[in-house]
């Protein structure tokens, strides 16, 4: 396929460079996990993330990305409740009972890392907690499917199956993507089956895998700010993303934090699973309440 010509496979050395960017993004999200609480403004979270990235000698990936009205000016996208992705930081304050999806990207020596997590603030209904957990679980299922010799559709199918099991809406207008010296490279990684099996997965392929699920439908609207993507039906949305590199041994998560690795290690000890993506998926699945 013509589009495949733009897919770049990364060398081991290049993957190690991407791992540096990924580690920084993970550090930022780890730090934000402790700061996402009632009363904090989304702009304060953004300032903290920018400070962390710049003081590491890196550059925020999202600043300057062209938009409908103007280039993006922030380090983070912070999407609250029915906002799916691309929420713009501002003076509004986080409140108890909200879900807050934070997407962060950083460039280290020309290489990008990109990751997102949905944080739960205080008490939320079980249905909301389940949505957030299932979206994370779907991300790990998609990552576990990113094996050499498999196809992109295997990633998409693993994610879609997780959503279907819970009856969640799967966002179609925004998808995962290749990543490297550009934040968005080919190929696209849909979170649903398209009817085509897509490109074969091979070592050196680096992807941002990022399911976006809703408690309602898949249709989206864009706010007048030209950025914020919201659910058309007002339903809650969750978003999880990791940057991975496909290696001969399977997927390697480049944006995993030491904290999530220890969770994966614990799960591995229990389940006997070996690949980190698989163990993380197992941990996620175990944490998930019965539907
Ligand atoms: Mg992304």
* pLDDT tens digits, one per residue of 198-223: 999 999 999 999 999 999 999 999 99
- Tens digits of residue pLDDT in 259-275: 555 444 433 333 333 33
Task: Compute the distance from residue 229 Cα to the ligand 1 centre, in Å.
Answer: 14
Q: Please report, rounded to a whole number, the percentage of residues in the chain having pLDDT higher than 90.
A: 86
3-state secondary structure 189-214: ECCCCCCCCCCECCCCCEEEECCEEE
Six-digit token string for 65: 């990305």
Task: Compute the distance from residue 119 Cα to the ligand 1 centre, in Å.
Answer: 17
Fold adopted by 4-283: Creatine Amidinohydrolase (3.90.230)
- The per-residue pLDDT for 257 is 81
Using CA atoms, how far apart are residues 270 and 33, in angstroms rounded to an integer? 26
Task: Compute the distance from residue 270 Cα to the ligand 1 centre, in Å.
Answer: 31
pTM for the whole thing?
0.89
Task: Compute the distance from residue 32 Cα to the ligand 1 centre, in Å.
Answer: 18
Burial pattern 84-108, b for ≥16 Cβ within 10 A else e, equals bbbbbbeeeebeeebbbbbbbbbbb
Confidence of residue 49 (pLDDT cuts 50, 70, 90): very high
- Tens digits of residue pLDDT in 88-132: 999 999 999 999 999 999 999 999 999 999 999 999 999 999 999
Distances (CA, A) of 236 to 169, 171, 215: 10, 12, 6
Q: Is the pLDDT of residue 280 over 60?
A: no
Task: Compute the distance from residue 114 Cα to the ligand 1 centre, in Å.
Answer: 6
CB-based contact 91:108 (threshold 8 Å): no
Task: For the chain, give the mean pLDDT.
Answer: 90
Q: Is the pLDDT of residue 285 over 50?
A: no
- The per-residue pLDDT for 271 is 33
Confidence of residue 2 (pLDDT cuts 50, 70, 90): very low
Task: Compute the distance from residue 210 Cα to the ligand 1 centre, in Å.
Answer: 6
């Amino acid at each position: 396929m013509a589009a495949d010509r733009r897919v770049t496979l990364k060398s081991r050395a290049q993957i190690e460079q991407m791992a540096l960017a990924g580690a920084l993004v993970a550090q930022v999200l780890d730090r934000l996990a402790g700061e996402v609480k009632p009363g904090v403004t989304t702009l304060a979270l953004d300032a903290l993330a920018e400070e962390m990235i710049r003081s590491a000698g890196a550059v925020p990936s999202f600043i300057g990305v062209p938009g409908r009205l103007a280039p993006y000016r922030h380090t983070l996208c912070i999407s609250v409740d029915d906002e799916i992705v691309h929420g713009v930081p501002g003076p509004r304050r986080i409140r108890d009972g909200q879900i807050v999806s934070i997407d962060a990207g950083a460039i280290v020596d020309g290489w990008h890392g990109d990751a997102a997590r949905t944080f739960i603030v205080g008490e939320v209904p079980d249905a909301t907690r389940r949505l957030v957990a299932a979206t994370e679980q779907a991300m790990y299922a998609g990552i576990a499917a990113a094996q050499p010799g498999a196809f992109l559709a295997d990633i998409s199918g693993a994610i879609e199956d997780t959503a279907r099991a819970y009856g969640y809406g799967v966002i179609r207008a925004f998808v995962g993507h290749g990543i490297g010296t550009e934040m968005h490279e080919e190929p696209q990684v849909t979170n649903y089956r398209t009817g085509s099996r897509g490109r074969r997965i091979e070592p050196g392929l680096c992807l941002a895998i990022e399911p976006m699920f809703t408690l309602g439908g898949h249709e989206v609207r864009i706010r007048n700010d030209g950025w914020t993507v919201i659910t058309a039906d007002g339903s809650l949305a969750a978003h999880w993303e990791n940057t991975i590199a496909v290696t001969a041994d399977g997927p390697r998560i480049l944006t995993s934090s030491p904290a999530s690795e220890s969770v994966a290690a614990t799960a591995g000890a229990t389940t006997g699973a070996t690949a980190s993506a698989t163990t993380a998926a197992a941990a996620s699945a175990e944490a998930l309440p019965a539907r």
